[in-house]
Structure 1
Amino acid sequence: MDIHAHVEGLTEEAVAHAHQADLQTQEKYGVKYLRYWFDEGTGKVFCLVEAPSKEAAIAVHREAHGLVADEIIEVQEGS
């Protein structure tokens, strides 16, 4: 799960476009961006991603739109 702590002026539409850019770029790095959540009030964005490494997830965001996450937390799905 990656967290973008606060992206000034970000809109729901811009987040959707950034996610689409991730989807177009992800295969190159063996990454799958699965879902995202956006809190317009705080400007926070959370992205659920399957990736071989943190570096691969970062590379997708960097190439797709330049909005690199402030934090990446490795999580595992529960039963």
Structure 2
Amino acid sequence: MPIYMDVHTIDGTVAMDDVAKAHQADLKTQGRHDVSYLRYWVDETQGKIFCLVEAPSAQAAADVHREAHGLVADEIYQVQEGS
């Protein structure tokens, strides 16, 4: 299944705790879309969130965010894992 990295840009700062709550909502919602959110990274001071997701399409990944909490990514890239 394809892997995607999505990027959220929040105006101002973002709290790690808030992102953790949103991620939990993603995990509860993802099964309905055949999606698996794997990991996320946060730059609190720059208001950046990066999510790694396995999904059949970028749209399916976005649908999970939309349904779970409404915070849709600004950018989604299909990526390949390297070492």
TM-score, normalisation: structure 1 = 0.94
Q: Which runs of 5+ in 2 are unaligned?
A: none
Q: Distance in 1 between matches of 2:12 and 2:31?
A: 28
Q: Distance in 1 between matches of 2:63 and 2:26?
A: 10
After superposition, what is the alpha-carbon deviation per residue over 1:9-35, rounded to whole angstroms, capped at 9, x for unaligned?
Answer: 531110000000000000000000000
Q: How big is the shift at 1:36?
A: 0.2
Match of 1:38 in 2: 42
Indicate yes or no: 2:74 matched with 1:70.
Answer: yes
Find the partner of 1:23 among 27, 30, 39. Answer: 27
**C-alpha spacing 1:47/1:7, structure 2 compared with 1 (3 Å):** farther
Cα contact 2:10–2:47 (8 A) shared by 1 = yes
Q: Distance in 2 between matches of 1:38 and 1:7?
A: 14
Indicate yes or no: 2:62 matched with 1:58.
Answer: yes
- Number of residue-to-residue matches in the alignment: 79
Q: Distance in 1 between matches of 2:25 and 2:11?
A: 17
Moved over 4 A (4+): none
RMSD over aligned Cα atoms:
1.2
Partner of 2:14, secondary structure, is coil
Identical aligned residues as a percent? 65
Q: How big is the shift at 1:5?
A: 1.8
After superposition, what is the alpha-carbon deviation per residue over 1:1-58, rounded to whole angstroms, capped at 9, x for unaligned?
Answer: 0000225453111000000000000000000000000001101000000000011000
